Structure 1
Amino acid sequence: MTLKSLTILAGAGLFLAACATPVEPEPVAAPKWHLAIHGGAGVILRENMTPEEEAAYTAGLNAALEAGAAVLREGGSAVDAVQAAVIPMENNPLFNAGYGAVFAANGTHELDASIMDGRDRDAGAVAGVMRVKNPILAARAVMDKSEHVMFAGPGADAFADGQGLEMVVNTYFDTDRRREALDRLLEAREAKPLAALRSDEERFGTVGAVAIDSEGNLAAATTTGGMTAKAPGRVGDAPLIGAATYAENGVCAVSATGHGEYFIRVGVAKTICDRVKFRDERVGTAAGVALGEVAALGGDGGVIVIDGAGNVDFVFNSAGMYRGEISPSGSSTAIFRDPPAGDE
């Protein structure tokens, strides 16, 4: 082939390239945001709850869902959304977190909380706080404003105060309902073993949230008042990253509620995410395995889980769990084991 022929062919190629219609790459669909919450698990039976009580719990769950969804609808981050979702439950005396938290055996309140951002697995937690109004805000401050992951006891309260968070006297958290539960349990302790005395309402009540935002970022948050008549200084699973709370982008986010000592021993939240990450299990399947380990040790409770594609599942081995979810497609809440009837 001559140099002239090569020149002609090259020119033709340039002409065809110039005349060809460029192929536009297919747009990558943005993930739909999705938020799920829980308000505690246990023996929650319809026959033990009045219609008025059920309506009050449902209203509380819906308020929490809407608070988190308001962030996500505006393109906000998953970590801001889970924080926003749990604050209404910390302020609602129906739930065992913040105002309305259970009493420790000495008649005080010691509260725990944790939060985790799936983007970089940054996390913050507080344990045994007694004066910060919203413990989840203290956990967030630890994550954002310190080099540490957890503060505990008076140091945690002092840190929160130094960050300008709203502080209260410990009696702010008091409610008659929780005081009656403490008195009943302390009175009965002398005659019966401790494990046989606590009702599920007195053992459980942790609240939490998991979310995915429109950028595909995951986050989780968990907050609690612990167990009724717990020993002062006792710390459960709620503030422990990997036990009750975990989030990793592209894998999963988890918030747990249940008998904390067992959830700590199993490392429930991290176990679930590791099974999703390394065994390619669905989040619901992985959660079932982790809760099976909890049950084998003698514990019970539940988890809310969301994967990197925004799929949500609720898994619990108790009779009920206060729970709900919301996305652009709608919302639903449920309390008892029977599934929700549909979007509300």
Structure 2
Amino acid sequence: MSKPIAALLAIFALFPLALSAQPAPEETEPVRWSLAIHGGAGTLKRENMTSEQEEAYRCSLQAALDAGAEVLASGGDALQAVEAAIVLLEDDPLFNAGRGSVFTWEGANEMDASIMDGRTRAAGAVAGVTTVRHPIHLARAVMDDGRHVFLSGAGAEQFATAKGLERMPPAWFATERRRKQLEVMKSRQLSALDVEYKFGTVGAVARDQAGHLAAGTSTGGMTGKRWGRIGDAPVIGAGTWADDRSCAVSATGWGEFFIRAGVAQAICDRVRLAGEGVQQASDTVIAEVAEMGGDGGVIVMSNAGEAVFSFNSAGMYRGRADSSGTNEVAIFAQD
């Protein structure tokens, strides 16, 4: 064998050793728990919001995110985390849920909420309640009771009394800001969407350390709504859905279109049955809503703990946190 060939073979012989000497790639620790929240979607532009207003919203979102994350980090379940985040948003007059809900045409505050357990697909929902401080707690009580899924109006109020849930006088939910929106709508003969083009519905989705999912949504509906109108927020499959086999979803937007598209369940079905990723499934379904003429957005949690957002409006109040250290809140589309 010639010396050049022998030298070349000697060089090649070194390659397996060199490859074996490379450090093994670091394995990413799987997410143990994950949480995402929203406070509504709509025409949210930075130039239309003062720095003080923006900071107030960001602080409120962070507080709700922290409340839910604390539950999950300490080993609590996904349902508890969803409730913990939503109750803070229901008490915050910045958002259209609980205190700070918009007014109906007749000048009342009527609230809706729903919640769903991804383990069993048990669900609870309420609509048109006027004195229950935390509609999300009432929805949870309906689910836990198990005899029904959806209660409304006076019957839902009676059920709240039977369960001993906290009540507040109707005036407690009213704010001057929301009252002025109704007055502007009536005086200028505007549509509900023209008064303040935001959907302040609140919601949360979570994956706990046991790998279970949950979703919840709460809202005051649309400014100037009439005839007992109900949007998508309390409709299981439209505004809320959770299934451990796929994902959990909470929606916010123009409810009539979200109901027609069955948005929340449609996203999870695409994940489970078509094998799509949660971002792809979410974007596809929100695009369908846009094609019909509606807008809004969703927060989605995969059963692996991936939290994503999808919306076709200028912004959405949102946030997410997980066990890997992610902790962020955002408002505008470009955030």
What is the Cα deviation at residue 130 of structure 1? 0.8
Q: Alignment length, in residue pairs?
A: 306
- For residues 234-313 of structure 1, the aligned pairs below 5 Å read 234-313=229-308
CA contact (8 A) 2:314 2:332 kept: yes
- For residues 326-337 of structure 1, the aligned pairs below 5 Å read 326-328=321-323, 329-337=325-333
RMSD: 1.2
What is the Cα deviation at residue 48 of structure 1? 0.4
5+ residue gaps, structure 2, are 1-28
Match of 2:34 in 1: 34
What is the Cα deviation at residue 250 of structure 1? 3.0
CA contact (8 A) 2:114 2:233 kept: yes
Give the whole-Å Cα distance in 2 for the aligned partners of 1:117 and 1:70: 19
Match of 1:338 in 2: 334
Query: Does residue 47 of structure 2 align to residue 47 of structure 1?
Result: yes
CA spacing shift, 1:113–1:196, aligned 2, 3 Å: closer
Deviation sequence 1:168-190 (CA, Å, 0-9, x none): 1111111010011010001111x
What is the Cα deviation at residue 307 of structure 1? 0.6
Give the whole-Å Cα distance in 2 for the aligned partners of 1:320 and 1:77: 30
CA spacing shift, 1:332–1:195, aligned 2, 3 Å: closer
What is the Cα deviation at residue 145 of structure 1? 1.7
What is the Cα deviation at residue 198 of structure 1? 3.3
SS in structure 2 at match of 1:228? coil
CA contact (8 A) 1:30 1:215 kept: no
- The one-letter amino acid of 1:262's match is F
What is the Cα deviation at residue 146 of structure 1? 3.5
- The one-letter amino acid of 1:200's match is Y
CA contact (8 A) 1:106 1:232 kept: no
SS in structure 2 at match of 1:88? helix
- The one-letter amino acid of 2:281's match is A
Deviation sequence 1:270-292 (CA, Å, 0-9, x none): 10000000000011111111111
Give the whole-Å Cα distance in 1 for the aligned partners of 2:72 and 2:227: 38
CA spacing shift, 1:160–1:277, aligned 2, 3 Å: same
SS in structure 2 at match of 1:326? strand
CA contact (8 A) 1:210 1:305 kept: yes
What is the Cα deviation at residue 118 of structure 1? 0.2
What is the aligned counterpart of 2:195 among 182, 194, 198? 198
Give the whole-Å Cα distance in 2 for the aligned partners of 1:74 and 1:49: 36
SS in structure 2 at match of 1:221? strand
User: How high is the sequence identity, in percent, across the aligned residues?
Assistant: 55
TM-score normalised according to structure 1 size: 0.87
What is the Cα deviation at residue 74 of structure 1? 1.0
CA contact (8 A) 1:115 1:221 kept: yes
Match of 2:120 in 1: 120
- The one-letter amino acid of 1:197's match is D
Give the whole-Å Cα distance in 2 for the aligned partners of 1:136 and 1:307: 22
Query: Does residue 87 of structure 2 align to residue 87 of structure 1?
Result: yes
TM-score normalised according to structure 2 size: 0.89
Give the whole-Å Cα distance in 2 for the aligned partners of 1:161 and 1:99: 19
Query: Does residue 160 of structure 2 align to residue 160 of structure 1?
Result: yes
Give the whole-Å Cα distance in 2 for the aligned partners of 1:250 and 1:77: 17
SS in structure 2 at match of 1:197? helix
Give the whole-Å Cα distance in 2 for the aligned partners of 1:332 and 1:152: 35
Give the whole-Å Cα distance in 2 for the aligned partners of 1:246 and 1:31: 21
CA contact (8 A) 2:213 2:247 kept: yes
